[in-house]
Amino acid sequence: MKTITNLTILVLLLAVGGITYALVRETAAGPSFRAADYGSFEECLRNIPAAWVEGSVERVGAETACRHEHAPRRAPD
């Protein structure tokens, strides 16, 4: 009984480690984008990676970040 428990724990740890490794590798392989790196809204939009096609989650998120980062600031009341 003890051997089965240890084997189960080992298999679960290996599975979690493998999944974590795959996620980190996939995340690091793709292009990165930071809206604050660009001086204007138009420049920000031009520099969104071409690999992020129109309508993709990454593209929509980058466009939203550009709008948020480069929107005119309102004066505090």
pTM of the model: 0.62
Per-residue pLDDT of the chain (77 residues), as tens digits, is 677 899 999 999 999 999 999 999 988 888 889 999 999 999 999 999 999 999 999 999 999 999 999 888 777 76
Q: How confident is the model at residue 29, as a pLDDT?
A: 85
Q: Which residue bears the tokens 């009341």?
A: 77
Domain parsing of the chain, residue ranges: 1-30, 32-72
Q: How confident is the model at residue 77, as a pLDDT?
A: 67
55: left (phi over 0), alpha (psi -120 to 50) or beta: left
Nearest-angstrom CA–CA distance, 65 and 45: 10
